[in-house]
Amino acid sequence: MILINHYIKALHKIFKADNILLVTHNRPDGDALASTCAMSELLIGMNKKFTAYCEDPAPQHYNFLPHIEKIITDKNKFNFSQFDLIITLDCGSLSRTALAREISNRDKNQFVIEFDHHPKIDDYSDLEIRYTESSSTAEILYHFFKVNNIKFNKNVANCVLTGILTDTGNFLYPSATDETIKIASKMLLRGARFPVILEHTWRNKSIGGMKIWGEAMSNLKINKKYNIAFTVLSRKDIIKHKASDEDLEGAAGFLSSLSGVNALLFLREEENGKIKGSLRTARPDIDISGLAAKLGGGGHPKAAGFVLDGRLEETKTGWKVV
């Protein structure tokens, strides 16, 4: 009942707003982009003035999403003070928006609505619409549309299904519930194009991408003490195969399908002196978000991540962060 009231209040705020800013997290994934595009479709239908912003450009394979070309990456192209409503999508942490200072120090007349399915990290919104048991932010938007009797046209249906598919690994991850699958079915009936979405989000690997996945599988080992599978990709590996972030998308989820292990740890070196860590588990009795939090990150009980400063170094006994 609380979320229903929040959905209704959110639409009321949108109706009243004169200038709206949509924000999603940096290095956007399918759910972040699809949610932003679904909300853009709504605002266009309402003839609302709005700007969609993300610090990083969308990976090219998401170009099929409606209105994705409207997402700008340069915050110098807008004046934050001119927005009376800010809607964040899929952003549990302000640090991933590149607008942390602006949102934290916003004027009292600037209202913030947060749609998110990640565990709470920052308390920054005036209206928080969060449901951590949801498969994706796109699934939350489905309920927002449904409660407010907003029509699911083909564009919205494509966005909702894209967000669900990419955040559940095409229904392979534990986050995909019976409700998730029912919603996906409804989106197909509303015109969502499953083959097109799958072609762009799954069957999109370059030769370098396939080789880097092979490298990650080749490096896969199991820590027998904790029964945790782990793999590492050095910066040298990534450069050798000319692999991009897009090529590596979904690799952790795929590797987590390994049978009989408690969890998977996937470490990869990035070009800016950072190490990105991804944690996955399919075990119902294991919550890996606590480990991610200890390492400065966060996420869901079954899918979490973190970022460390440093580089990876191979030793006689294994890999270490230096």
Q: Tens digit of pLDDT for each residue in 179-211?
A: 999 999 999 999 999 999 998 988 777 788 888
- 134 vs 31: CA distance, rounded Å: 12
- 180 vs 167: CA distance, rounded Å: 11
- 166 vs 125: CA distance, rounded Å: 26
What fold characterizes domain 207-321?
Answer: Diaminopimelate Epimerase; Chain A, domain 1 (3.10.310)
Q: Please name the amino acid found at residue 247.
A: D
Calculate the average pLDDT of the chain.
Answer: 91
Strands 318-321 and 274-280: unpaired
Classified as helix, coil or strand, 85 is strand
257-287 confidence digits (pLDDT tens): 788 899 999 999 988 888 999 999 888 889 9
Confidence of residue 315 (pLDDT cuts 50, 70, 90): confident
Residue 27 in contact with residue 245, Cβ under 8 Å?
Answer: yes
**Of the candidate ranges 46-50, 56-60, 69-73, 211-215, the one whose mean pLDDT is the lowest:** 211-215
**Of the candidate ranges 5-19, 35-49, 153-167, 208-222, the one whose mean pLDDT is the lowest:** 208-222
Q: Please name the amino acid found at residue 122.
A: D
**9 contact partners, CB below 8 Å, separation of at least 6:** 127
Torsion angle of the four alpha carbons 195, 201, 206, 210, in this order, in degrees rounded to the nearest 10: -100
DSSP state of 283: -
Report pLDDT for 172.
80
Confidence of residue 22 (pLDDT cuts 50, 70, 90): very high
**Domain range summary for the chain, segments of one domain joined by +:** 2-201, 207-321
Spelled out in words, what is the top-level CATH class assigned to the domain 2-201?
A: alpha beta
Residue 37 in contact with residue 65, Cβ under 8 Å?
Answer: yes
Q: Is 268 exposed, middle or buried (0-12, 13-18, 19+ CB in 10 A)?
A: buried
Strands 303-309 and 298-299: antiparallel
Question: What is the enclosing helix (H) or strand (E) of 141?
Answer: helix 137-147
| The pLDDT of residue 1 is above 70 | no
Report pLDDT for 170.
86
| Residues 179-197 as b or e (16 or more Cβ within 10 Å = b) | ebeebbebbeebebbeeeb
128-154 confidence digits (pLDDT tens): 999 999 999 999 999 999 999 999 999
**308 contact partners, CB below 8 Å, separation of at least 6:** 274, 275, 277, 295, 296, 321
pTM for this entry = 0.84
CB neighbours of residue 15 within 10 Å: 9
Confidence of residue 7 (pLDDT cuts 50, 70, 90): very high
Of 136, 178, 89, give the one whose Cα is nearest residue 300. Answer: 136
Beta bridge partners of 87: 22, 113
- 192 vs 141: CA distance, rounded Å: 15
**Of the candidate ranges 70-79, 95-104, 306-315, the one whose mean pLDDT is the lowest:** 306-315
Residue 159 in contact with residue 66, Cβ under 8 Å?
Answer: yes
- 203 vs 311: CA distance, rounded Å: 31
